[in-house]
A = this chain, B = another copy of it.
Protein backbone atom coordinates (compact mmCIF):
# COMPACT_ATOMS: atom_id res chain seq x y z
CA UNK A 1 0.00 0.00 0.00
CA UNK A 2 1.78 3.01 -1.19
CA UNK A 3 0.96 6.27 0.40
CA UNK A 4 -1.73 7.77 -1.71
CA UNK A 5 -4.01 10.73 -1.18
CA UNK A 6 -7.11 8.57 -1.37
CA UNK A 7 -9.26 11.58 -0.92
CA UNK A 8 -10.99 12.58 -4.08
CA UNK A 9 -11.06 16.20 -3.01
CA UNK A 10 -8.79 17.87 -5.49
CA UNK A 11 -6.32 19.89 -3.62
CA UNK A 12 -5.40 23.33 -4.80
CA UNK A 13 -1.74 23.74 -5.23
CA UNK A 14 1.48 25.53 -5.30
CA UNK A 15 2.85 28.95 -5.75
CA UNK A 16 5.69 29.05 -8.17
CA UNK A 17 9.39 29.56 -7.77
CA UNK A 18 9.26 33.14 -6.66
CA UNK A 19 7.26 32.17 -3.67
CA UNK A 20 10.06 29.98 -2.41
CA UNK A 21 12.22 32.74 -1.06
CA UNK A 22 9.19 34.52 0.26
CA UNK A 23 8.05 31.44 2.08
CA UNK A 24 11.43 30.82 3.53
CA UNK A 25 11.48 34.32 4.90
CA UNK A 26 7.93 33.99 6.15
CA UNK A 27 8.85 30.81 7.96
CA UNK A 28 11.80 32.40 9.64
CA UNK A 29 9.74 35.38 10.64
CA UNK A 30 6.94 33.22 11.95
CA UNK A 31 9.38 31.06 13.82
CA UNK A 32 11.03 34.08 15.35
CA UNK A 33 7.70 35.35 16.60
CA UNK A 34 6.59 32.08 18.01
CA UNK A 35 9.97 31.30 19.50
CA UNK A 36 9.88 34.66 21.21
CA UNK A 37 6.47 33.94 22.62
CA UNK A 38 6.78 30.32 23.57
CA UNK A 39 10.41 29.27 23.34
CA UNK A 40 12.02 26.84 20.98
CA UNK A 41 9.86 23.93 21.97
CA UNK A 42 6.90 24.68 19.81
CA UNK A 43 4.98 22.51 17.35
CA UNK A 44 6.37 22.96 13.89
CA UNK A 45 2.86 22.91 12.59
CA UNK A 46 2.15 26.09 14.51
CA UNK A 47 5.01 27.80 12.78
CA UNK A 48 3.88 26.65 9.38
CA UNK A 49 0.39 27.84 10.14
CA UNK A 50 1.57 31.23 11.29
CA UNK A 51 3.70 31.54 8.17
CA UNK A 52 0.68 30.67 6.11
CA UNK A 53 2.25 27.70 4.42
CA UNK A 54 1.80 23.95 4.45
CA UNK A 55 3.87 21.68 6.61
CA UNK A 56 5.71 20.33 3.63
CA UNK A 57 7.14 23.71 2.81
CA UNK A 58 8.67 23.94 6.20
CA UNK A 59 10.39 20.62 5.70
CA UNK A 60 11.57 21.56 2.25
CA UNK A 61 13.38 24.59 3.59
CA UNK A 62 14.45 23.21 6.93
CA UNK A 63 15.08 19.51 7.14
CA UNK A 64 14.71 19.48 10.87
CA UNK A 65 13.81 21.51 13.87
CA UNK A 66 17.39 22.49 14.49
CA UNK A 67 17.83 23.88 11.00
CA UNK A 68 14.98 26.27 11.51
CA UNK A 69 16.17 27.36 14.90
CA UNK A 70 19.65 27.84 13.50
CA UNK A 71 18.31 29.99 10.70
CA UNK A 72 16.40 32.18 13.10
CA UNK A 73 19.21 32.59 15.57
CA UNK A 74 21.75 33.01 12.82
CA UNK A 75 20.15 36.34 12.08
CA UNK A 76 20.53 37.44 15.65
CA UNK A 77 24.15 36.50 15.70
CA UNK A 78 24.75 38.24 12.42
CA UNK A 79 23.32 41.40 13.88
CA UNK A 80 25.66 41.08 16.80
CA UNK A 81 28.61 40.63 14.52
CA UNK A 82 27.57 43.65 12.54
CA UNK A 83 27.11 45.71 15.66
CA UNK A 84 30.56 44.66 16.85
CA UNK A 85 32.00 46.64 14.00
CA UNK A 86 30.12 49.80 14.82
CA UNK A 87 30.22 50.24 18.56
CA UNK A 88 32.15 49.64 21.68
CA UNK A 89 31.58 46.93 24.23
CA UNK A 90 28.85 48.79 26.05
CA UNK A 91 26.99 49.31 22.80
CA UNK A 92 27.32 45.69 21.83
CA UNK A 93 26.07 44.56 25.20
CA UNK A 94 23.11 46.83 24.63
CA UNK A 95 22.35 45.02 21.43
CA UNK A 96 22.68 41.65 23.08
CA UNK A 97 20.50 42.84 25.92
CA UNK A 98 17.88 43.86 23.43
CA UNK A 99 17.90 40.47 21.85
CA UNK A 100 17.73 38.73 25.19
CA UNK A 101 14.71 40.70 26.22
CA UNK A 102 13.11 40.33 22.85
CA UNK A 103 13.24 36.62 22.35
CA UNK A 104 13.08 33.67 24.63
CA UNK A 105 14.70 31.68 21.88
CA UNK A 106 17.84 33.74 21.78
CA UNK A 107 18.40 33.12 25.41
CA UNK A 108 18.77 29.47 24.75
CA UNK A 109 21.95 29.81 22.77
CA UNK A 110 23.67 31.86 25.43
CA UNK A 111 22.17 30.22 28.41
CA UNK A 112 21.79 26.92 26.58
CA UNK A 113 19.61 24.20 27.87
CA UNK A 114 19.27 23.51 31.54
CA UNK A 115 19.86 19.79 31.09
CA UNK A 116 23.26 20.42 29.65
CA UNK A 117 22.41 19.01 26.26
CA UNK A 118 23.36 21.66 23.78
CA UNK A 119 22.71 21.26 20.08
CA UNK A 120 25.77 21.67 17.91
CA UNK A 121 24.48 24.72 16.12
CA UNK A 122 23.97 26.51 19.42
CA UNK A 123 27.56 25.94 20.38
CA UNK A 124 28.73 27.39 17.10
CA UNK A 125 26.50 30.42 17.41
CA UNK A 126 27.55 30.98 20.99
CA UNK A 127 31.19 30.95 19.93
CA UNK A 128 30.49 33.60 17.34
CA UNK A 129 28.87 35.80 19.94
CA UNK A 130 31.85 35.31 22.18
CA UNK A 131 34.27 36.20 19.42
CA UNK A 132 32.36 39.35 18.62
CA UNK A 133 32.41 40.41 22.24
CA UNK A 134 36.04 39.62 22.74
CA UNK A 135 37.16 41.87 19.92
CA UNK A 136 35.83 44.78 21.90
CA UNK A 137 36.83 43.64 25.36
CA UNK A 138 39.54 45.83 26.92
CA UNK A 139 42.37 44.00 28.65
CA UNK A 140 41.52 45.54 31.96
CA UNK A 141 37.79 44.90 31.83
CA UNK A 142 36.37 43.12 34.86
CA UNK A 143 35.26 40.24 32.61
CA UNK A 144 38.68 39.88 31.01
CA UNK A 145 40.60 38.32 33.85
CA UNK A 146 39.29 34.80 33.60
CA UNK A 147 38.66 33.26 30.18
CA UNK A 148 35.18 31.96 30.95
CA UNK A 149 33.95 35.01 32.78
CA UNK A 150 32.75 36.79 29.70
CA UNK A 151 30.24 34.20 28.58
CA UNK A 152 29.32 33.26 32.10
CA UNK A 153 28.32 36.85 32.61
CA UNK A 154 26.18 36.81 29.50
CA UNK A 155 24.55 33.60 30.68
CA UNK A 156 23.92 35.19 34.04
CA UNK A 157 22.14 38.11 32.49
CA UNK A 158 20.11 35.77 30.35
CA UNK A 159 19.13 34.02 33.57
CA UNK A 160 17.81 37.24 34.98
CA UNK A 161 15.72 37.98 31.93
CA UNK A 162 12.26 36.82 32.79
CA UNK A 163 8.95 38.40 33.09
CA UNK A 164 5.79 39.25 31.26
CA UNK A 165 6.75 42.33 29.25
CA UNK A 166 9.80 43.34 27.32
CA UNK A 167 10.17 46.44 29.41
CA UNK A 168 10.13 44.44 32.60
CA UNK A 169 12.66 42.04 31.23
CA UNK A 170 14.88 44.89 30.18
CA UNK A 171 14.72 46.37 33.64
CA UNK A 172 15.91 43.10 35.06
CA UNK A 173 18.65 42.79 32.48
CA UNK A 174 19.98 46.24 33.36
CA UNK A 175 19.91 45.38 37.03
CA UNK A 176 21.87 42.26 36.24
CA UNK A 177 24.57 44.15 34.39
CA UNK A 178 24.70 46.62 37.22
CA UNK A 179 25.25 43.83 39.73
CA UNK A 180 28.10 42.64 37.56
CA UNK A 181 29.58 46.10 37.56
CA UNK A 182 29.50 46.16 33.79
CA UNK A 183 28.57 49.22 31.84
CA UNK A 184 25.91 48.69 29.19
CA UNK A 185 24.60 50.97 26.53
CA UNK A 186 20.90 51.31 25.88
CA UNK A 187 19.17 48.14 24.80
CA UNK A 188 18.49 48.59 21.15
CA UNK A 189 17.74 46.59 18.06
CA UNK A 190 20.03 46.58 15.04
CA UNK A 191 18.18 47.91 12.07
CA UNK A 192 18.10 45.52 9.18
Contacts and interface: CB of A to CB of B under 8 A. Distances in A.
A125 interface: no
A90 interface: no
A44 to B, nearest CB: 10
Interface residues of A, number: 51
A175 B146 contact: yes
**Chain B CB within 10 Å — which of A18, A116, A118 has the most?**
A116
Interface stretch (A91-99, A129-137, A152-160): A152-160
| Interface-centre pick from A118, A157, A159, A162 (highest chain B CB count, 10 A) | A159
A27 to B, nearest CB: 13
Contacts of A5: 17
A63 interface: no
A163 B155 CA distance: 12
A156 B169 contact: no
Contacts of A7: none
Given A39-B113, A152-B176, 19 more contacts: A2-B21, A2-B41, A2-B65, A39-B114, A41-B41, A107-B114, A108-B114, A111-B114, A116-B164, A142-B179, A148-B175, A149-B175, A152-B172, A155-B160, A156-B156, A156-B176, A156-B179, A157-B159, A181-B181
